[in-house]
Structure 1
Amino acid sequence: MRSTTNAYPKEQRLSAWSFALKRVSITLEAADEATLYGELIQFTSSNGIVFVRLLATAQEYTVDFRDEPGCFWLAVTLDAPSIARNATTSFTLDDGHMVCARSEMPMSLQFTGDHRVLLLKIPPRALDQRLKALLPEKPRHLSADSGPARLLSTVLRSLADMGNDVTDEELRPVELALPEFLLASLLNDAPARALGGAAGMRAALLERIFQTIEMRLSDPNLNYQQVAAEHGISPRYLQKLFESIDDSFGHYVKVRRLERCRLDLRSPLHVQKSISDILFQWGFNDSASFSRAFREQYGISPRDYRKMPAVDEADHGPDTLRRGRSTAKRAVSDEAAVAPVEELEIGEVDSDGAEANVIPAIGDEGTVRHHHLPVSPRTVHWGYFSSAIKPALMVRSGDFVTVETLTHHANDDPERMVEGDHGAESVYRWDETGRAIERRGAGPMSASEFGRGPGEGFGVHICTGPIAIQGAEPGDIIEVRILSLDPRRSGNPRFQGKSFGSNAATFWGFHYNDLLTEPKNREVITIYEVESGGERRPTAHAVYSYHWTPQTDPSGTVHERYDYPGVPVDPETIERNYDILQNVEIPIRPHFGVIALAPAHTEPVDTIPPSAFGGNMDNWRTGPGSSVFLPVQVSGGLLSLGDPHASQGDSELCGTAIECSMTALIQVIRHPAGELTGKLRDLDYPMIETETEWVIMGFSHPDYLKELGEDAQSEVYKRASIDAAMRDAFRKARRFLMTTKDLSEDETISLLSVGVDFGISQVANGNWGVHAIIRKELFTA
């Protein structure tokens, strides 16, 4: 997760930054609003350790995890000194020094200048008994001038320098080594009084015993009598030591062995080892007792745990697994549970389109929540909109949602954009046994007309959702605030840390019948590498291109043209041209091509033509910092997002943008029908608002499903016209200015001509688009 104040207008930055910090249990106490800047990057290890990196101007924070008992937190200051204090303690932290405490001990950090901080929240499951026994009773200052704390500070600084580029493989050694570094640092850097007396002697002795056990976990004959003898104490006293930490020797050893086995079951270094090899390596004598113990500890069998996609563990961790079944297929809220997946499963639309959509209530305690909606076959629909799709998530007005979205062009280069990505692989799965997702479009499931495949490709976009908004009813307006939008990184280790997208110049492009060079009836795919951040403005550059050649899909259908979504391209059938677009960099303009509410229509609706409900608007201004306003047509609204783009020019001339999978942070706001004033009064069409502009969307047919009758979904492609789209954009812009600014028609027409820019949104989607850009600076009041 990444949040930055730059995504907001200046007047909203303080409140937005405060909220971003609050989501990670940090309270902003003081900051200069005039100069405020903040960037927050959060990532989580497979063992549930949360890392938060802050980059900010002079500020004061309070770290407070009291609502998460049993956790331990640690902060390392980078690049600038700070003062750490609470009601009883105060000390200065120099660059690289650390402060740590139990979750019930909040503490403020005050920085007088620009700074970086790396904060770690370590859950109970990542704190083995060795560390729990030594956690300080008061916040501790760990100096990084020498000793183990210096090594720990160096490791954490390197991790902070990686920012959001860190991978699970890079986090793995850090999470494994962290308890050892902390133990050594706490012992080495503790003041004399902290380890003095009988309690201190017991703690030091326990630490030595823990180290002995760790070194001998693989010995199946390890017993407490041997360990007691090695440390010169009686077996009875050793048992008393373990009783002092509410444990026993036997249970402690079993849990440590299980944890070692669990880590090896997930490690790519041990993928070739059998489960039996792993359990015997860590001191278990037989597979039956090991399986029972593993299931008792984690609530899942070792075999099922090993098969679980890595994203499941990253989201939920082993303590969640103990509940008896994986909750990885649920949409997760930070502060409140949402309806379970059995109630939210996406349903195929009945032949008569009449499936009822019952939206579960989620309570009304008024708390703004944050949800995560990952991609999977259960959370996406491909190529169509419908009010009969069961919602994948329910939210309240004001809730935030992290939404993963996939491009429907990922199989143009499956090596770079599908392989190794568990979410993409699950959605794109298509082999001789069938598809993970059958329906790909609003056409007939029998593929009776063209034989392309279920849905026939009349509609192509992979859409995440729908998201139901509690209380939304026809007449309301839904505002979708896009706060951040980041390219999805390749899951293939060969392209680690990189992101890619595809631009397909295809038969539906505006250029197709106006080509100069041979062969004239050609479709060309260009693969781009997409930057996701850095000190300069991110750009994309072409990697290679190829001409589409006939592709045989896994079901045996030959596709002479690019006529069905998700067909995997066989690299052996294409010739790659790497000598293209040399010395050309395309500035990144990440945005959603598709933002839609469900249409009030009885049949599945093709995702390609946009309309009054939004949809495939393909306007690059729907990026971070913008809001998209959509009129509600059905109860719950049912918001879907997809067709993510890394960059696109006005017109989308060749038929596509740089189609690139992305993850967004959005906020969903419901504006009730009875409270629509100002810019929302009389709004019955999609509108985009940025910090400086209102963007009015016009189409050849503004509500084509109503205008064109029973055959609307085929007729709309035959009647696309820039003239008609321009006429619609003019009429809507005229109405907007007369309604919201109280101008006369004559005043409005003059202003439209001298101060408003009209542009071609797209000529690729059947229902062509023209937009009017009304600059806010035109109005002095």
Structure 2
Amino acid sequence: MRFTTNAYPREQRQDAWRFALRRVSLEVQATSEDLYGELVSFTSGQGIQFVRVTGNGQSLAIDMAQEAPSFWLVLLLEGRLSARQGTTTIDLAEGDILYGGGASRTQVDLAGEHRFLLVKVPHALPALRSRSALPSQISNLIADEAIGRMLSALLRSVADTIVDVSDDQIRPVELALPEFIAATLLDKAPVKELGGAAGARAAILERVFQSIEMRLSDPNLSIHQIAAEHRISPRYLQKLFESAGESFSQFVKFRRLERCRLDLGSPLHAQRSISEILYQWGFNDSASFSRAFRERYAMSPREYRKVGALPEDMGEAPRRGRPSAQKEGRPEEREDSAAPSTREGLGDVEGLVDGLVEDVQVDAARGVRHHALPVRPDTIHWGYFSKTLKPALEVCSGDYVTVETLTHHANDDAERMIDGDPAAEAIYRWTAEGKVIDRRGAGPLDASVVGRGPGEGFGVHICTGPIAISGAEPGDVVQVRILDIDPRPSRNPRFAGRAFGSNVAAYWGFHYAELLTEPKPREVITIYEIEKGAGLPVAHAVYNYRWTPQTDPSGVIHPMYDYPGVPVDPETTEKNFNVLRDIEIPVRPHFGVVALAPAHSDLVDSVPPANFGGNIDNWRLGPGASVFLPVAVPGGLLSLGDPHASQGDGELCGTAIECSMTAVIQVILHKAKAAAPHVRELDYPMIETPTEYVILGFSNPDYLRELGGKAQSEVYKRSSIDAAMRDAFRKARRFLMTIRDLSEDEAISLLSVGVDFGISQVANGNWGVHAVISKALFTN
């Protein structure tokens, strides 16, 4: 998570800062009027959270009452800090460390400009779990002490690199940090707790445990190797393990299994295969690993990855065999009757996606799950919505989903956004023999209208899903919470770890008929890099080029940017690298498309948004926000796509910075009769952020019903800002009269003096206007 108050208007900074800090277990007690705050957090694969906070004078509270038991510590990087817990007060200088544990609140006063690193370490980690209980009072380590100096240096390196660090790079720290903490706890413990000979044996075992932990990935790890390292005999070491109730080999196997289980359940490792994970942690073959995993956890590794919980966590008896699924068959066996596939002659499609997230069908059992929904040929639909689509995933209300989305503009620079990425290569694959994804739009499959290709390009977005929501019925409302969203890094070794996006000034852009300079007309593609630096990420232009006629692999010439996924031959374009120099665009990641399936008999073009959601293109739908959508068909059928790194209100030239993204979302079902008033009345999309309601209006809000049999072509002809403004006004008026019980006259006055209306987009065939209603207007 990355946050800065500078991204918000002055009057919204206090509320935004409070919300950001609450997400990392910090509460604002008092701040200066001229508040400045910046927060960057990173969570490792084992759940250790690192949070760097920069700001001016304020008082905070560290409150872990709602967290799993954790040991926490604060390294003061700059400034002055005073901490209070009960009758204990501790003052820290730069480099000193404050630490504590449990649920007791700790008051932290920061007198002036400051910078600190907060670290939360789960007590369930092996290095801490076997130690004494979490400390009941705060304490401190002085930077001048040996252990304090060592720990301070380690954490300062994390603070300095937190913006760029990866899960692999942090792994040595997450192994070493619990050891530092354990050593600190032992150093502070009373002598009687350490206990003579028993304490000596326990101390040896602790050191042995950590030696093993550091070497779990070595398949040749042996008791002789560990015994020699600690200058004891293998026989004595085995006796030490027996005194703890297990053998050396059992301990090693169980620790390896636990590491594998953590990785299998982590969204950070969702793209890694089971085989990659087991080999990393020292297992030699998948068969013995699977047997050991089932014996240990009463389910197979594949089953655990699907349901995301162990049987005891699910409140069910352990089960053998495959979990009972709501849908039978693997995703690749489910055919979309509304979108025929023409995969013959393309070879082994399964082979194209080898190594991606495995089968994502789920067991929709009781309790909250965390699912992984990768982007690949059998989990996407390109350019249309349909109530006849078979779900790629089924979830229950409250479930979380790590969902991958792919931009339909990746071929604007295939070298940066497709090459080396198995999923992107598979989805975009197009040869003279055909395409892996043939249907690219809601038009005719025989390309009889203008001959551009199947689907005709009437609808362009690569949408992941659909996701069926168990129990969703027409009249209900689905809330999609965006918890996190990050750019998909390039898989090309030349650009490894860097992320890119494309902006197209296209023929459908508002500017196209208003060009001043020659040549006219023209379409221009600008490639951006999304860069992580101090503060919020920013985008910089890399280069641009003018669209030149491109011949697709089927032999069709495209003089304009008119069909999704046409490969751009870089030899036919002239790259201009001297563009937008010294300009940084703040990154505001969001989904352009979030849709439920409309209740319409035909395929529905993904471009024009409407009351079912769709291509709403509003940048406020980013991390921390929710979108509410009315359900039109059983199951809802949620699709997400058109990921953007950044977009301005209006989307003037026709596109945003189109960039593949991976997000963590939560899906919540609001039943018609039980929903809160402001949700129950919704028959249109609404965005809610921590500080605002955003009401979305369109030129033709229900165009599929309003415009008759030719609605999908007529909607493009009837867009106007006037009509969209009128729709946004009517919805916002009804919203205020419903949830605040205002009279019509009161609502109209408030809409004029306290509500901001803005243009969402003039690019999508059904133009949009939004009304931004600040929650701060309502004092109670």
Answer whether TM exceeds 0.5 for this pair: yes
**Structure 1 stretch 390-399 or stretch 113-122: which is displaced more?**
390-399
Aligned to 1:50: 48
Aligned to 1:660: 659
Alignment equivalent of 2:62, drawn from 60, 63, 71: 60
The amino acid of 1:51's aligned partner reads Q
Aligned to 2:121: 120
Shift of 1:119: 1.5
Aligned to 1:350: 337
Residue-by-residue CA offset, 1:47-106 (whole Å, 9 max, x unaligned): x35334274942132378778xxxx856454447687989xx9996967667999xxx84
> How far apart in 2 are the matches of 1:668 and 1:73?
31
> How far apart in 2 are the matches of 1:76 and 1:748?
48
Give the TM-score taking structure 1 as reference length.
0.72
Residue-by-residue CA offset, 1:19-44 (whole Å, 9 max, x unaligned): 745xxxx6x7x763888999876645
The amino acid of 1:507's aligned partner reads Y
Question: Secondary structure at 1:32's aligned position in 2?
Answer: strand
Answer yes or no: is the 8 Å Cα contact 2:394–2:470 preserved in 1: yes
Question: Secondary structure at 2:763's aligned position in 1?
Answer: coil
Question: Secondary structure at 2:716's aligned position in 1?
Answer: helix
Aligned to 2:106: 110
Change over 3 Å in CA distance of 1:456–1:238 after alignment to 2? same
1:325 and 2:321 matched: no
Shift of 1:705: 1.4
Answer yes or no: is the 8 Å Cα contact 2:593–2:613 preserved in 1: yes
Residue-by-residue CA offset, 1:712-732 (whole Å, 9 max, x unaligned): 323333444455445545655
Answer yes or no: is the 8 Å Cα contact 2:362–2:393 preserved in 1: no
Answer yes or no: is the 8 Å Cα contact 2:21–2:28 preserved in 1: no
Give the TM-score taking structure 2 as reference length.
0.72
> How far apart in 2 are the matches of 1:461 and 1:480?
19
> How far apart in 2 are the matches of 1:754 and 1:82?
44
Question: Secondary structure at 1:656's aligned position in 2?
Answer: coil
1:368-447 → structure 2 map (5 Å cutoff): 375-377=375-377, 379-394=379-394, 403-419=403-419, 428=428, 437-445=437-445, 447=447
Shift of 1:656: 0.8
Shift of 1:600: 0.4
1:32 and 2:29 matched: yes
1:52-451 → structure 2 map (5 Å cutoff): 52-53=50-51, 55=53, 57-62=59-64, 75-79=73-77, 106=102, 108=104, 110-114=106-110, 116-121=117-122, 127=126, 135-136=131-132, 139=135, 143=141, 145-147=144-146, 150-175=149-174, 177=176, 193=192, 195=194, 197-203=196-202, 205-206=204-205, 224=224, 236-249=235-248, 296=291, 323-325=300-302, 327-328=304-305, 345=331, 347-351=334-338, 362-363=365-366, 375-377=375-377, 379-394=379-394, 403-419=403-419, 428=428, 437-445=437-445, 447=447
Change over 3 Å in CA distance of 1:341–1:41 after alignment to 2? farther
The amino acid of 2:574's aligned partner reads E
Shift of 1:613: 1.2
Answer yes or no: is the 8 Å Cα contact 1:681–1:739 preserved in 2: no
Answer yes or no: is the 8 Å Cα contact 2:84–2:108 preserved in 1: no
Shift of 1:424: 5.2
> How far apart in 2 are the matches of 1:463 and 1:514?
32
Shift of 1:194: 5.4
Residue-by-residue CA offset, 1:495-554 (whole Å, 9 max, x unaligned): 56654321101222233344444433432101223456744x654332210122344556
Answer yes or no: is the 8 Å Cα contact 2:84–2:107 preserved in 1: no
Change over 3 Å in CA distance of 1:122–1:717 after alignment to 2? same
Shift of 1:359: 12
Answer yes or no: is the 8 Å Cα contact 1:483–1:624 preserved in 2: yes
> How far apart in 2 are the matches of 1:147 and 1:704?
70
Question: Secondary structure at 1:761's aligned position in 2?
Answer: strand
The amino acid of 1:504's aligned partner reads V
Change over 3 Å in CA distance of 1:173–1:612 after alignment to 2? same
Aligned to 2:568: 569
Shift of 1:382: 2.6
The amino acid of 1:509's aligned partner reads G
The amino acid of 2:443's aligned partner reads G
> How far apart in 1 are the matches of 2:74 and 2:672?
49
Aligned to 1:462: 462
Change over 3 Å in CA distance of 1:584–1:228 after alignment to 2? closer
> How far apart in 2 are the matches of 1:258 and 1:371?
21
Aligned to 1:702: 701
1:642 and 2:638 matched: no
Shift of 1:609: 0.9
> How far apart in 2 are the matches of 1:212 and 1:731?
67
1:519 and 2:519 matched: yes
Question: Secondary structure at 2:156's aligned position in 1?
Answer: helix
Question: Secondary structure at 1:58's aligned position in 2?
Answer: strand
Residue-by-residue CA offset, 1:459-515 (whole Å, 9 max, x unaligned): 112234434445433233444455665544545565566543211012222333444
Question: Secondary structure at 1:325's aligned position in 2?
Answer: helix
Answer yes or no: is the 8 Å Cα contact 1:481–1:667 preserved in 2: yes
Aligned to 2:713: 714
RMSD between superposed Cα atoms in Å: 5.6
Change over 3 Å in CA distance of 1:399–1:715 after alignment to 2? same
The amino acid of 2:48's aligned partner reads V
Name the count of aligned residue pairs: 715
Question: Secondary structure at 2:561's aligned position in 1?
Answer: coil
1:762 and 2:761 matched: yes
> How far apart in 2 are the matches of 1:775 and 1:178?
43
Aligned to 2:600: 601
Change over 3 Å in CA distance of 1:490–1:161 after alignment to 2? farther
Change over 3 Å in CA distance of 1:92–1:435 after alignment to 2? farther
Shift of 1:410: 2.8
Shift of 1:752: 7.1
> How far apart in 2 are the matches of 1:216 and 1:393?
35
Shift of 1:155: 1.8
Change over 3 Å in CA distance of 1:472–1:13 after alignment to 2? farther
1:508 and 2:504 matched: no
Shift of 1:596: 1.9
1:578-617 → structure 2 map (5 Å cutoff): 578-617=577-616
Change over 3 Å in CA distance of 1:49–1:595 after alignment to 2? closer
Question: Secondary structure at 1:502's aligned position in 2?
Answer: strand
Change over 3 Å in CA distance of 1:235–1:734 after alignment to 2? closer
Answer yes or no: is the 8 Å Cα contact 1:142–1:189 preserved in 2: no
Residue-by-residue CA offset, 1:344-383 (whole Å, 9 max, x unaligned): 9495432499xxxx998654x7x7x776655455554332
> How far apart in 1 are the matches of 2:298 and 2:371?
20
Answer yes or no: is the 8 Å Cα contact 2:48–2:174 preserved in 1: no
> How far apart in 2 are the matches of 1:531 and 1:182?
34
Shift of 1:607: 0.7
Structure 2 unaligned residues grouped into runs of 5+:
111-115, 263-274, 316-322, 341-360
Change over 3 Å in CA distance of 1:40–1:516 after alignment to 2? closer
> How far apart in 1 are the matches of 2:627 and 2:252?
56
Answer yes or no: is the 8 Å Cα contact 2:17–2:37 preserved in 1: no
Answer yes or no: is the 8 Å Cα contact 2:52–2:159 preserved in 1: no
**Structure 1 stretch 72-81 or stretch 7-16: which is displaced more?**
7-16
Shift of 1:688: 4.3
> How far apart in 1 are the matches of 2:718 and 2:103?
65
Shift of 1:152: 3.9
Question: Secondary structure at 1:240's aligned position in 2?
Answer: helix
Structure 1 unaligned residues grouped into runs of 5+:
264-274, 301-318
